[in-house]
Amino acid sequence: MTKYLNKLKSPGDLETLSEQEMELLASEIREFLIDKVSQTGGHLASNLGVVELSLALHSVFDSPKDRIIWDVGHQSYVHKIITGRAEKFETLRQLEGISGFPKREESIHDIYESGHSSTSVSVGLGMAKARDINDEDYSVVVVIGDGALTGGIAFEALNNAGHCTSNLIVILNDNEMSISQNIGGISRHLNRLRTASSYRKMKDKLKKAIYKIPKAGGPIFFTLEKMRDAIKYTLVDGIIFEELGFTYLGPVDGHNLHELIYVLNNAKNVSGPVLVHIHTKKGKGYLNAEKEPDRFHGIGPFDSETGEVHSKSINKTYSHIFGEKLMQLAEENPKVVAITAAMEDGTGLKEFSKRFPDKFFDVGIAEQHAVSFATGLALNGMIPFLAIYSTFLQRSYDQIMMDVCLHNVPVIFCIDRAGIVGEDGETHHGIFDISYLNHLPNLTILAPKDKYELEAMLTFAMDLNKPCAIRYPRGSAMDLSHISNNYKDINKLEILTKGEDLCIFAVGRMVKAAFDASQLLKEHKINITVVNARIIKPLDEAAILEILKSHKKVIVIEDNTKIGGFGSSVSALIHKNSLNDIHLYQMGWPDKYIEHGSIAELDRRYGMDEKGIMKNVLEMLNGRK
Ligand SMILES: Cc1ncc(C[n+]2csc(CCOP(=O)(O)OP(=O)(O)O)c2C)c(N)n1
């Protein structure tokens, strides 16, 4: 069944295969992907769409001498298979297993570690320039999707590359999809190009036409073939990439190996920047994924026959709670609008988009634009709720600072996937947002301990009339109403348990762990105070100082990097008030990029669960910490 795949250990093995055999290999790879990803979960649809492209790239180019760069990197599974990692696919995205994104420590063929989109052309251009300066000879090839192309930095890079003379090959993998249907003017432009005749057909037509010219036809075509830009055969006017200075080749059927190999060989010989526009189908070859490419974009373990995911949680996620509450707020307040940067489903806004189409904006993968756009809406009287994953909001730092906070306008940042996110790893953990927001003037930062607090905070933020950020984690929304159901003073700290031995300030997701630890510690006759630190900024100084009067041993725990987080604020407060007898221990993520693995495994590994808390409490009380 896996006649060709079994023998595939490195890109060089492709040389021995005919195109027909490579097509058989493509089918084997698809079966392999469906089988493996159904067990581990992962980015299936995007990878099924690039099987032929990955084979063609590794046939035409000589990796790692030639550099292949994957934008986002979620579509690099086939590349991983070709470069000798098929046997490791059982461990895909698992703790200590292979990553779902390119990783330099995994393979010499992974030369750039992506995860956040739209950076590939910039990186590729940098590599091409370095090659030229060093007087070296190899190709730099960048693969970017039509979704990733909606990110502003991609245009900055195309603008720059089009102006340079360096050889750079950009493959635009156009499947008409971002995670959902792709949006925007460029998407329309690509559609116009796609509907024009294919590259090969155009070339054949031109050849026939020229050959009809008596006597001179043959030599003219021959000369054209020799000319570097003779392979621009499309008859569409005003191709944006040509206007920017690229040679445009396309559109090409991205599932036709023969055409792909042909056009890539041509691209290799073009001097200057060249863009190859290929058309693919997301989810190609697996009907379930072809029908629902968005659901199979990133999916948990599933039944490969039915396509149904195995562990369907009955609990709603925080994203669901957010989406539902926002619809309620929009019913009540006509000023409420919602914005997403290409993550309509992931952020829980799908229903909102249907119910309030005029008040819903998917701006594409354009987080910076989203923030400035929200500023404009707020300056003209709207209340924008901007739902972005913590890790992607990093892109918008300057816009948050200079547009939202400087103008002091009511933009509400609904920071989804805040904290550790699990299997997507280093590039996706949302563990920096408290640190990159904590010092911004005018901003309020909140973190709910459960779903009811999230709802209360959304209402609070709507009425605040100032910038506000609410950070909430990935996964099932907790219900901690049995611990406390006081949602009135949502911008004040909340004391959950009282004890004299030690005090824990816990932020967001960590409140439950701290509370559970406090209950376990009772069995050791240790009584601690647990505080729900639901307002991170402005710091509830008076309340914290009051608590510190009766506690000399203090732990702060937050699902954020320790540097610059809530713990740093408490530490600074202690220092400012010269409370030298306070012993503070900060718990949070260490100063490094955290690897991939399930959230529970990472919590355990880094002591970020109730056991880790208990250990620290006991060590502090025993004077060992
Ligand atoms: C800056 C940033 N924002 C959002 C995302 C989330 N994201 C991952 S893949 C993707 C869609 C990419 O679409 P495309 O480039 O066309 O690739 P496809 O999956 O369609 O092959 C999005 C929005 C991201 N990775 N980076």
Q: Could you tell me the domains of the chain?
A: 62-74+93-196+234-285 (3.40.50.970), 318-471 (3.40.50.970), 494-621 (3.40.50.920)
Residue 223, pLDDT above cutoff 90: no
Helices marked H in 409-470: 433-437, 451-464
Q: By 3-state DSSP, what share of the chain in percent is helix, strand and coil, each rounded to 5?
A: 45, 15, 40
DSSP code, position 154: H
98-103 contacts at long range (C-beta below 8 A, 24 or more positions apart): 99/425, 99/596, 100/42, 100/43, 100/74, 100/423, 100/424, 100/425, 100/596, 101/72, 101/73, 101/74, 101/76, 101/424, 101/425, 101/427, 102/70, 102/73, 102/76
- Asked whether 465 and 410 are in contact (CB, 8 A), the reply is yes
Cβ–ligand 1 contact at 74 (below 6 Å): yes
> Which residue minimizes the CA distance to atom 21 of ligand 1?
46
Cβ–ligand 1 contact at 178 (below 6 Å): yes
For residue 340, give the 3-state DSSP assignment: strand
Q: What is the pLDDT of residues 582-601, one digit of tens each?
A: 999 999 999 999 999 999 99
Cβ–ligand 1 contact at 148 (below 6 Å): yes
Q: What is the pLDDT of residues 509-543, one digit of tens each?
A: 999 999 999 999 999 999 999 999 999 999 999 99
Distance from Cα 354 to the centre of ligand 1, integer Å: 22
> Which residue minimizes the CA distance to atom 25 of ligand 1?
116
Residue 221, pLDDT above cutoff 80: no
Tokens of 478: 């907790």
Q: What is the pLDDT of residues 66-124, one digit of tens each?
A: 999 999 999 999 999 999 999 999 999 999 999 999 999 999 999 999 999 999 999 99
Residue 399, pLDDT above cutoff 80: yes
Q: What was the pLDDT predicted at 230?
A: 40
Residue 340, pLDDT above cutoff 80: yes
First-to-final CA distance of the chain: 58
Q: Residue 195: which pLDDT band, with cuts at 50, 70 and 90?
A: confident
- Asked whether 117 and 173 are in contact (CB, 8 A), the reply is no
Backbone φ and ψ of 623, nearest 5°: 75, 15
Work out the percent of the chain whose per-residue pLDDT is above 70. 93
Tokens of 377: 């809406």
Q: Give the Cα separation of 119 and 374 in Å (integer).
A: 24
Ligand 1 atom index nearest CA of 280: 21
Q: What is the pLDDT of residues 447-468, one digit of tens each?
A: 999 999 999 999 999 999 999 9
Distance from Cα 56 to the centre of ligand 1, integer Å: 22
Residue 508, pLDDT above cutoff 80: yes
Ligand 1 atom index nearest CA of 179: 11
Name the catalytic one among 80, 203, 282, 451: 282
373-376 contacts at long range (C-beta below 8 A, 24 or more positions apart): 373/339, 374/339, 374/404, 374/411, 375/399, 375/403, 375/404, 375/407, 375/409, 375/411
Q: What was the pLDDT predicted at 459?
A: 98
Report the number of secondary-structure helices (H) and strands (E) in the chain: 25, 17
Ligand 1 atom index nearest CA of 146: 16
Q: Residue 207: which pLDDT band, with cuts at 50, 70 and 90?
A: low
Q: Residue 194: which pLDDT band, with cuts at 50, 70 and 90?
A: confident
Distance from Cα 147 to the centre of ligand 1, integer Å: 6
- Asked whether 498 and 342 are in contact (CB, 8 A), the reply is no
Q: Give the Cα separation of 93 and 598 in Å (integer).
A: 9
Work out the percent of the chain whose per-residue pLDDT is above 90. 88
Distance from Cα 340 to the centre of ligand 1, integer Å: 13
Q: What was the pLDDT predicted at 62?
A: 98
One-letter amino acid for residue 55 of the chain: L
Backbone φ and ψ of 168, nearest 5°: -150, 130
Ligand 1 atom index nearest CA of 177: 20
Buried b / exposed e across 389-428, counting CB within 10 Å, b at 16+?
A: bbbbbbbbeebbbebbbeeebbbbbbbbbbbbbbbbbbbb
Cβ–ligand 1 contact at 388 (below 6 Å): no
Residue 229, pLDDT above cutoff 90: no
Residue 209, pLDDT above cutoff 70: no
Catalytic residue flag (residue 284): no
Token match 């439950």: residue? 512
Candidates 483, 484, 446; CA nearest to 468 is 446
Helices marked H in 41-76: 44-49, 51-60
Residue 240, pLDDT above cutoff 70: yes
Cβ–ligand 1 contact at 167 (below 6 Å): no
Cβ–ligand 1 contact at 264 (below 6 Å): no
Cβ–ligand 1 contact at 94 (below 6 Å): no
Tokens of 607: 């002591």
Residue 197, pLDDT above cutoff 70: no
Name the catalytic one among 52, 113, 259, 367: 367
> Which residue minimizes the CA distance to atom 11 of ligand 1?
178
Average pLDDT over residues 248-264: 96
Cβ–ligand 1 contact at 263 (below 6 Å): no
How far lies 318's CA from each of 172, 311, 340, 433, 451, in Å? 35, 17, 16, 17, 7
Q: Give the Cα separation of 109 and 80 in Å (integer).
A: 8
Catalytic residue flag (residue 395): yes
Ligand 1 atom index nearest CA of 144: 15
- Asked whether 566 and 536 are in contact (CB, 8 A), the reply is yes
Torsion of CA 15, 17, 20, 22, to 10 degrees: -70
Q: Give the Cα separation of 137 and 150 in Å (integer).
A: 31
Sign of CA dihedral 559, 560, 561, 566: negative
603-610 contacts at long range (C-beta below 8 A, 24 or more positions apart): 603/420, 603/513, 605/95, 608/420, 608/510, 608/513, 608/557, 608/559, 609/513, 610/513, 610/514, 610/516, 610/517, 610/520
- Asked whether 66 and 270 are in contact (CB, 8 A), the reply is no
For residue 461, give the 3-state DSSP assignment: helix
DSSP code, position 170: E
Average pLDDT over residues 339-346: 97
Q: Give the Cα separation of 94 and 101 in Å (integer).
A: 12
Q: What is the pLDDT of residues 400-452, one digit of tens each?
A: 999 999 999 999 999 999 999 999 999 999 999 999 999 999 999 999 999 99
Distance from Cα 559 to the centre of ligand 1, integer Å: 25
Average pLDDT over residues 532-558: 97
Q: What was the pLDDT predicted at 2?
A: 85
**Structure pTM?**
0.94
Cβ–ligand 1 contact at 154 (below 6 Å): no
Q: What was the pLDDT predicted at 211?
A: 64
Cβ–ligand 1 contact at 117 (below 6 Å): yes
Backbone φ and ψ of 617, nearest 5°: -60, -50
- Asked whether 308 and 38 are in contact (CB, 8 A), the reply is no
Q: What was the pLDDT predicted at 40?
A: 96
Count the Cβ atoms, other than its own, within 10 Å of residue 159.
12
Cβ–ligand 1 contact at 284 (below 6 Å): no
Instruction: Report the residue among 47, 72, 74, 340 best suited for mutation to probe ligand 1: largest number of ligand atoms under 8 A from its CB.
Output: 72
Catalytic residue flag (residue 242): no
Q: What is the pLDDT of residues 11-27, one digit of tens each?
A: 999 999 999 999 999 99
Average pLDDT value for the chain: 94
Cβ–ligand 1 contact at 177 (below 6 Å): yes
Buried b / exposed e across 251-264, counting CB within 10 Å, b at 16+?
A: bbbbbbbebbbbbb
- Asked whether 507 and 566 are in contact (CB, 8 A), the reply is yes
Q: Which residue would you say has higher pLDDT here, 231 or 615?
A: 615
Cβ–ligand 1 contact at 329 (below 6 Å): no
Bridge partners (DSSP) of residue 145 are 173
Q: Residue 181: which pLDDT band, with cuts at 50, 70 and 90?
A: confident
Q: Give the Cα separation of 243 and 226 in Å (integer).
A: 23
Count the Cβ atoms, other than its own, within 10 Å of residue 54.
26
Q: What was the pLDDT predicted at 4?
A: 95
Ligand 1 atom index nearest CA of 46: 21
Ligand 1 atom index nearest CA of 342: 23
Instruction: Report the residue among 37, 44, 179 best suited for mutation to probe ligand 1: largest number of ligand atoms under 8 A from its CB.
Output: 179
Number of residues in the chain? 625
For residue 225, give the 3-state DSSP assignment: helix
